[in-house]
Chain A
């Protein structure tokens, strides 16, 4: 494919957008270097008067002797398992819904979509009671196990991608002797890699930011995730440590950005062939 000369207009727009996208974040990062109590007094200036690394040092100390090292490690653990679980299971389910015409398919699809329509804040109390019966409180189980049963958002996304793959490929595979599962693994999965990578990115950052579920289910501080730990800096009764809050929030962005940067490549490279040329 010939490299097209990108008009300067596109670049200009993109650069303008970059500034617009980044300014608020730059503000947050800058504030993380300011002294806590001056954050609001000094709000207009982007560049801090003095570069204060204390916020990072103090913030990292965390709470009750549990440092952010632990919090980050915990969060990686939970998010990692949850991402693997949800993306893989969702792919399998998506294949079932989009490639196999079985009885009741539409009903189950509707059921699945309906589960997305209830806000988590409402479901969480009955869910807590249920998980309490299982004895899963104060473990990571409520955060990880449900992901292995598919995430409707991901299922739906992958369905849309699977549906844009011509059925010819499946037929060709079957002629060659594959059963449905092999067709799925050998043919379809590689083709929906961009969708799967997209889901990996989403899953990672949703779980990373998740607050309510860890709040309800984790009792011991040593199990806490980063999102929980950051909320503890905010104290309406007393002095809120804004500096530490911004510092840790900034740091919290980094893994998500890295994951994004690494995986977004596959969204591009994932399509070498459309498969049509078989």
Chain B
């Protein structure tokens, strides 16, 4: 690496003049915008209008059946001062996200590392481990999960085998959310896949060189694997955080309405109820934007922090 760093400027000196001319700000701007033009077209043509509309709707009383009526900050006022369900849903979702996401990511990374080393049957294992994530939040999953966690279901049977008492997973407010957390963790395949791709991206040469230098496995893990995985870790953390906060379908299909006693009332579930069951799309839009701000701030914080712990291979290109 070091030798190559020295070589490049030397080779480039001859052409420095020509290169600089090509790299003017104008050229960069043009090509930059050209490359992201699909995004811009989509953004301005298709995305921004609906998004702006939802912001507007949050200041209205809108039930979709007739044009919206402006009510200013009333929705937000009610949300923050009079709606205890709002705060409850927020608490549930925070708990869920900050429990399920680390759970999923740690399992995903651990298993990815296991699978990365396996040559024979790797495809099989990868497929099997990935299978749960592709089932998503369908009706079939919901039924199956309820069966699994039923009073006489498989989970309780296993618990009793090992001497622990069975638990009312679906009926007890203290435990219900854990069925959702476990479901989220069970579907770790997608995160695992990304970690796998990241792991495979680390050149073998690094490990070989390190072991020649006498490094042990743990050292290699912390000195090579983790740092080079950080871009992917950042990705997974941000994406899973967003996923966690926006989680809706499993709670909806498995429990339906936040039961028992609101233990599974995820934020977006409550939002959905307001929009479509309670005929209050305006309020729901307000909830959506509050969520956007919360998750946006958290994401921004993570990105800011990434300057300190994420290691990119590039130099200059950033």
Query: CB within 8 Å of B: which residues of A?
Result: 1, 3-4, 6, 10, 13-14, 17-18, 20-25, 27-28, 31, 43-44, 89, 92-93, 95-103, 105, 108, 111-119, 121-123, 125-127, 129-130, 145-146, 148-150, 153, 155-157, 160-161, 163-168, 170-171, 174-175, 179-181, 184, 194-195, 197-198, 201-202, 205, 209, 227, 230-231, 234, 242, 245-246, 249-250, 253, 256-257, 260-261, 264-265, 267-268, 270-271, 274, 276
Contact A230–B36 (Cβ < 8 Å): no
> Of all chain A residues, which has the CB nearest B64?
A125
Contacts of B99 in A (CB 8 A): none
Contact B268–A108 (Cβ < 8 Å): no
Contact A127–B50 (Cβ < 8 Å): yes
Contacts of B193 in A (CB 8 A): 198, 201, 264, 267
Contact A257–B134 (Cβ < 8 Å): yes
* Chain A CB within 10 Å, residue with most, of B4, B133, B140, B238: B140
**With A108-B36, A119-B248, A249-B138 as contacts: A14 and B115 at CB distance below 8 Å:** yes
Contact B118–A92 (Cβ < 8 Å): no
Within the complex, the shortest CB–CB distance from B169 to chain A, in Å, comes to 14
Contact B203–A276 (Cβ < 8 Å): yes
Total CB contacts across the A-B interface at under 8 A:
291
> Of all chain B residues, which has the CB nearest A149?
B42
Within the complex, the shortest CB–CB distance from B147 to chain A, in Å, comes to 5
Contacts of B246 in A (CB 8 A): 117, 119
Contact A116–B313 (Cβ < 8 Å): no
**With A166-B314, A274-B203 as contacts: A22 and B131 at CB distance below 8 Å:** yes
Q: How far is the CA of A126 from the CA of B47 in the complex (A)?
A: 10
Contact B275–A121 (Cβ < 8 Å): yes
In the complex, 9 of the A-B residue pairs with CB atoms within 8 angstroms, ordered by the A residue number, are: A22-B131, A125-B64, A149-B39, A149-B42, A149-B43, A153-B239, A164-B313, A260-B126, A267-B193
Contact of A260 among B25, B43, B130, B231 (CB under 8 A): B130
How many B residues, CB 8 Å from partner?
111
Q: How far is the CA of A263 from the CA of B122 in the complex (A)?
A: 13
B166 at the interface (CB under 8 A from A): no
B232 at the interface (CB under 8 A from A): yes
**With A121-B271, A156-B235 as contacts: A25 and B32 at CB distance below 8 Å:** no
Contact A122–B39 (Cβ < 8 Å): no
Interface mask (B176-206 → A, CB under 8 Å = 1, otherwise 0): 0000000000100010011011101101110
Contact B232–A130 (Cβ < 8 Å): no
Contact A100–B32 (Cβ < 8 Å): yes
Q: How far is the CA of A261 from the CA of B25 in the complex (A)?
A: 44
Contacts of A163 in B (CB 8 A): 231, 312-314, 317-318
Within the complex, the shortest CB–CB distance from B202 to chain A, in Å, comes to 8
Q: How far is the CA of A99 from the CA of B31 in the complex (A)?
A: 10
- Please report which residues of chain B, range 102-141, place their CB below 8 angstroms from some CB of chain A when the two chains form the complex: 111, 114-115, 117-119, 122-123, 125-141
B224 at the interface (CB under 8 A from A): no
**With A180-B35, A264-B193 as contacts: A257 and B131 at CB distance below 8 Å:** yes
Contact B296–A24 (Cβ < 8 Å): no
Contact B138–A230 (Cβ < 8 Å): yes
Interface mask (B140-153 → A, CB under 8 Å = 1, otherwise 0): 11011101101011
B73 at the interface (CB under 8 A from A): no
Contact A167–B144 (Cβ < 8 Å): no
Contacts of A148 in B (CB 8 A): 38, 42
Q: How far is the CA of A17 from the CA of B296 in the complex (A)?
A: 35
Contact B285–A264 (Cβ < 8 Å): no
B164 at the interface (CB under 8 A from A): no
**With A123-B54, A268-B200 as contacts: A157 and B194 at CB distance below 8 Å:** yes
Contact A164–B312 (Cβ < 8 Å): yes
B215 at the interface (CB under 8 A from A): no
Contact A205–B50 (Cβ < 8 Å): no
Contact A119–B194 (Cβ < 8 Å): no
Q: How far is the CA of A148 from the CA of B38 in the complex (A)?
A: 7
Contacts of B228 in A (CB 8 A): 164
